[in-house]
Amino acid sequence: EEAGTHPPSARPGRRRSAAGACSPMTADMRGAGEAESTRPGSEEQVPLYEEFIYCCGAATQVLKCGPWKDLLETESKTLPRLLFLIIPGNPGLAGYYRTFIRALYHGLNRRYPVWVVSHAGHCKPPNGMGMTQDTDIKELEDVFGLHGQIEHKLDFLRKNVPKDMKLVLIGHSIGCYITLEMMKRASELQVLRSVLLFPTIERMAQSPQGKLLTPVLCKLRYILYMPVYLLSFLPERVKTSMVRFVLRGLKYPDEASIVTSLNLFSVDCVANVLYMASQEMMKVVERDSTTIKQNLKKLIFYYGVADNWCPQQYFEEIKMDFPDGDIRLCEKGIRHAFVLDASREVAAMITDWLQDILTRL
C-alpha cells in the first residue's frame, strides 16, 4: 500500500500553472463530471462523478459521490451541511476508493457528499492532459513531495469548497499524516472529526515494512523505472492479468482496485509514487503529539493488529500517551490496504462511529 522521484515530465524547473490554481480539464477531453453508473444492486446505483483537474499545476483526479458537483456554485438552500473528504494513502490513486466512497455515501443515507482527491501526479492523466500544466508562472515547489502534497490538499479545499463548509476528513495511511498537517497548518478549517485509518504518523522507516523498503526507496528506486517502462507497452488484458496474479491472495478482490492498479504501469505515476514514499521514510519520524493533543476530541484512530507500517506497539504507545483519546485496535483482521477487499466493512464502521456528530447536524 505504501509504496515518489520526479519523472522526466515533472522535474523541478518545468513551467507549471499559477501557484494554487485548480483548473478543471475540459469536458470534451474526458467527459469530466459525467455520472458513472454502478452494477445493479451495488449501493443502489449511487452516482459517481470523475474529474481530472490541475491543482497546484499537477494532474489530479477527483471522485465525487452525490449530486453536489460544484459546492461553490450550489445555491445556499441546497448546499449540504457537511463534506466528507478522503485523503488517500500511497499510491494516492482516487480509484482505489471508488467502492469505499460509494458505500460511505450510501451509509450516510445520501445526505452528504463524499469526495476523494488523488495525490498530485499519482494518476495517469487522460489523453490531451499532461502530468503538469505548462505556464510561465512559477508553481508550488516540489508539489510531488510529501509537504507539497499537504499544500496540494489545502489548495484543493480553498479552490473547491466554501470556507464555512463543515468537514469530516478521512485519512488512510500516509493520508493520516497529511490530515494532521492540514489541521495544524489551516486551523480555520471547519473540521468536525478526522478519522485516521491505519495511521502512518511516526517512525515509518523503523517499522517492519519501512526497514525492508527504505534502502530501496531512498537509494535504488531509479532501477524500477526501466521494467515499468517496458511493461507499459503490454496489452491492457495482459496488464490486467498481471494485476490479478499479484492480488491472487485476496478472497474477494475489489474490481475497482484491479482497474486502478493499471495506472502503476505508467513510469511518471510510479516515479511520483516512489519519490513521495522516499520522503515519507525520511520525514515521518516523530509523532506530532502537540497537534494530536490540541485536536484530540476531533480525532479517531484505527490501528491494525498485524500492520507492518504502524505496528501494534505504536498503538499501545499512543494509547498510553492519550488515554482519553478515541484510539481503536482492529479486531477484524482488516489489512492496512483495506481498499483492496474491505471497503464496505470500513465504511460501515465509520458511519457507526460518527453517529454522534451526524445526529447533531
Cell of 335: 489489512
Q: Which residue has the cell 482519553?
A: 324
Q: Which residue has the cell 513521495?
A: 276
Catalytic residue among 155, 254, 268, 307: 307
Cell of 356: 454522534
Catalytic, 173? Answer yes
Is residue 276 within 8 Å of residue 144, measured between CB atoms?
Answer: yes
Catalytic residue among 173, 207, 261, 278: 173
Catalytic residue among 122, 152, 172, 336: 336
- For residue 160, give the nearest of 123, 117, 192 by alpha carbon: 117
- For residue 155, give the nearest of 299, 11, 3, 17 by alpha carbon: 17
Alpha-carbon distance 200 to 334, whole Å? 16
Alpha-carbon distance 134 to 17, whole Å? 6
Alpha helices in the chain (DSSP H): 27-30, 98-107, 146-160, 174-185, 208-215, 225-231, 236-246, 255-260, 267-283, 289-294, 312-321, 343-353, 355-360
Cell of 86: 478522503
Alpha-carbon distance 187 to 194, whole Å? 13
Q: What amino acid occupies position 320?
A: M
Cell of 77: 438552500
Q: Angle 174-185/267-283 helices, nearest 10 degrees?
A: 70
Annotated active-site positions, please? 173, 307, 336
